[in-house]
Amino acid sequence: MNQITNPGAVSPLPLQPAETNAIAKVGADFSSVIQSTIQQAVKAEAEGDKAIQDLQSGQAKNLHEVMISVEKADISLKMLVQFRNKAMQAYEEVMRMQI
């Protein structure tokens, strides 16, 4: 019998070996996301504090810039709190799982 072949078929891609340290890689990525989020919140808070100090000392030229800096700090803090809350919910969900 003749073998049926498809001239337009492509050869399958070679399999790549699974990373043995995939969990550590994901953990490192997750920790860098957390560190970045915390650093951004701290930076926004510092900028808000400086803007308030500039307003009190009379160095701030525009009140709306001060308010924007303060609101950025407030939103960053709220986001960080929500991030923590979601992480705690995920942890509690994992702890409730039955093995």
pTM for the complete prediction?
0.63
| Ranges of the chain whose pLDDT falls below 70 | 1-28
Structure tokens at 13: 């891609």
Tell me what pLDDT residue 61 has.
86
The predicted structure's pLDDT at residue 66: 92
30, two tokens:
């997750």
- What is the DSSP code string of 33-94? HHHHHHHHHHHHHHHHHHHHHHHHHT--S-HHHHHHHHHHHHHHHHHHHHHHHHHHHHHHHH
Domains of the chain, by residue range, sit at 31-96
